[in-house]
Amino acid sequence: MPAATLTPNDLARVATFAELPPDTLQWLLDHGEVRTYASGDTVMSPGDPAEFMVVVLAGGLQFFSVRNGNREPIFRVEKGHVSGVLPYSRLRTIQGLGVATDATELLLLHRDNFPALEQISPELVQRLVGVMSDRARQEARGQERDDKLRALGKLSAGLAHELNNPAAAIMRAAEALNNRLRAKPGLLLELVRHCPEPNALADLAAVASNPPLTQATLSPLERSDREDELAEWLEEQNVPDGYALASGLLEAGLTLATLKPLIAALPEPSRPSALVWLEGQLTTLCLVRDVQEAGGRISTLVSNVKTYSHMDRAGDFAPLDVHAGLDSTVNILSYCMREEKVQLTRDYAPDLPLVKGQVSSLNQVWTNLLDNAIDAMPGGGQITLRTRLEGDFVLVSVTDNGPGIPPEVLPHILEPFYTTKPAGEGTGLGLDIAMRIVEQHDGRLEVKSEPGHTEFRVWLPAVK
């Protein structure tokens, strides 16, 4: 409906329009359009063209981001405030869902009127640009927070998966260790009951304490033949279920050439219990080694999280190893890469100098660039991380062999609010945040792309 029922005094109650000349306010009324909405009505939807400046005269608007069909509140525009498209805004598509919070009355001014508005009231245009700048800063801060929360979500999912494997290995090993340690006293009693020679027992104990654990690499067929050969010999020594023991002895690096002289020095009745005890001891050592490796893997993951999240350092700028930040980010995102069947190649320059920066901020840059590269290659692909020293700058490049960025999109890819993702799935601020972080480090971020080769390059000043 036209704005004829409103007066300049009505518009003067809007904070942004306060103390403007009445003829400017009348011009807004003459060129604007009033629309009314009931509580709960949808005013804007993701994907709609961004065409209007919106003045809330009554009621209010609640904006939501929509992801996977779920609404997440972003911000609210109350009565007396201005929103929507403002002069010089690059926003072309509505990203969020706008819903009326009450009986709502809006004054809409189409963006085609902005050039004329600039001639009518440069002062109002300057105010609106200020509103847009404040809004952009708030959205950028919100996007930074959301990016960190999304990174935390990926971190949590990846850690849960990565920690599950070594934790499960430790549980399996602990159960097997419990069973074998309970059997050891009986086996020992059975062995010494036949009073073997002390020297023979010493030789057996020496092998049990320090097994070879190394053997020539065997093909599956060769290993199967060795196991069969060893199992048959164990059966000849009256060892019960020799086939079950053969694998453990072979895994420890023991062969018939090692076992025959070792067992020959023992009384014949003690040989079965000696071989069972020896296999149990060697398997116990292997299980302990498995527990140590699994525990080491957990410690490595915890170390990666500390490096990634900057938990143990202050937030000031300090000399940093770029490779450490890249590796911790890769480790955090490794689960995502495996899920998408993405292969990663590291091409790091040796003796790369340090850069001065903030670990958490730079890790956010690496996360954004790697995450975009992973998203660009659904169903698998190749990512290359490369570092070089170019003059006084450390160069970090992230390259993928995905379909590339279309030529019409490439000039805008680093602009704020520009996104190629479907409505509701991206805000268009991820790369803009990355670029601003790099600029805060006195560096620069560039991108070049063609089909099969997209490369983001980050230059950071090297510490001299």
**Distance (Å, whole) CA 395 – CA 444:** 10
Query: Which pLDDT score, from 0 to 100, does residue 215 have?
Result: 57
DSSP 288-339: HHHHHHHHHHHHHHHHHHHHHHTTTS-SS-EEE-HHHHHHHHHHHHHHHHHH
DSSP 193-211: TT---HHHHHHHHHHHHS-
Query: Which pLDDT score, from 0 to 100, does residue 297 have?
Result: 74
Nearest to 387 by CA among 359, 437, 353: 353
Determine the residue type at 234.
L
Helix (H) or strand (E) segment spanning residue 383: strand 381-390
Query: Which pLDDT score, from 0 to 100, does residue 213 have?
Result: 60
**Distance (Å, whole) CA 239 – CA 233:** 9
CB crowding 405-442: b at 16 or more within 10 Å, else e = beeeeeeebbebbbbeeebbebbbbbbbbbbbbbeebe
CB crowding 257-283: b at 16 or more within 10 Å, else e = eebeebbeebeeebbbbbbbbbbbbbb
Query: Which pLDDT score, from 0 to 100, does residue 429 have?
Result: 44
DSSP 79-140: TT-EEE--TT----B--SEEEESSSEEEEEEEGGGHHHHHHH-HHHHHHHHHHHHHHHHHHH
**Distance (Å, whole) CA 317 – CA 56:** 43
Query: Which pLDDT score, from 0 to 100, does residue 432 have?
Result: 77
CATH 3.30.565.10 fits 310-461, yes or no: yes
Distances (CA, A) of 408 to 48, 72, 404, 426: 20, 31, 12, 19
For 87, half-sphere exposure in the C-beta direction (CA atoms, 13 angstrom radius) is 18
Fold of 3-120: Jelly Rolls (2.60.120)
Q: What value, to the nearest 5°, has the Cα angle with vertex 20 and ends 15 and 22?
A: 120
For 368, half-sphere exposure in the C-beta direction (CA atoms, 13 angstrom radius) is 29
Q: Which residues on adjacent β-strands are paired with residue 52?
A: 110
DSSP 212-274: --------HHHHHHHHHHHHHHHHHTT-TTHHHHHHHHHHTT--HHHHHHHHHTS-GGGHHHH
Domain coordinates of the chain in residue numbers? Answer: 3-120, 157-293, 310-461
Strands 453-461 and 444-450: antiparallel
Q: Which two tokens stand for residue 458?
A: 């980050």
SS3 track for 11-47? HHCCHHHCCCCHHHHHHHHHHCEEEEECCCCEEECCC
Q: What is the chain's Cα-based Rg?
A: 35
- Reduced to 3 states (helix: H, G, I; strand: E, B; else coil), residue 445 is strand
DSSP 353: P
**Distance (Å, whole) CA 272 – CA 283:** 17
Q: Which two tokens stand for residue 215?
A: 């053997």
Query: Which pLDDT score, from 0 to 100, does residue 427 have?
Result: 37
Q: What value, to the nearest 5°, has the Cα angle with vertex 331 and ends 327 and 333?
A: 115
DSSP 2: B
Helix (H) or strand (E) segment spanning residue 417: none
- Reduced to 3 states (helix: H, G, I; strand: E, B; else coil), residue 164 is helix
Q: Which two tokens stand for residue 72?
A: 């997440």
Q: Which two tokens stand for residue 210?
A: 């320090």
- Kindly report the number of other CB atoms within 10 A of residue 121's CB atom: 20
> Each residue's pLDDT tens digit in the chain (464 positions)?
445 578 888 898 898 999 999 999 999 999 999 999 999 999 999 989 999 999 999 999 999 888 777 888 888 899 999 998 998 888 888 888 999 999 999 999 999 999 999 999 999 999 998 888 887 777 766 666 666 666 666 666 666 766 776 787 788 888 888 888 887 787 777 777 766 777 777 877 777 777 776 555 667 787 788 888 888 888 888 887 777 778 778 877 787 888 888 888 788 888 888 888 888 888 888 888 888 877 877 777 777 666 665 544 445 688 999 998 898 888 777 777 877 888 999 999 998 999 998 887 888 889 889 988 888 887 778 999 999 999 999 999 999 998 888 888 888 777 655 555 543 344 334 677 788 889 989 999 999 998 989 999 999 999 97
**Distance (Å, whole) CA 333 – CA 177:** 34
Query: Which pLDDT score, from 0 to 100, does residue 239 have?
Result: 80
Query: Which pLDDT score, from 0 to 100, does residue 309 have?
Result: 58
pTM of the full structure: 0.47
**Distance (Å, whole) CA 456 – CA 396:** 8
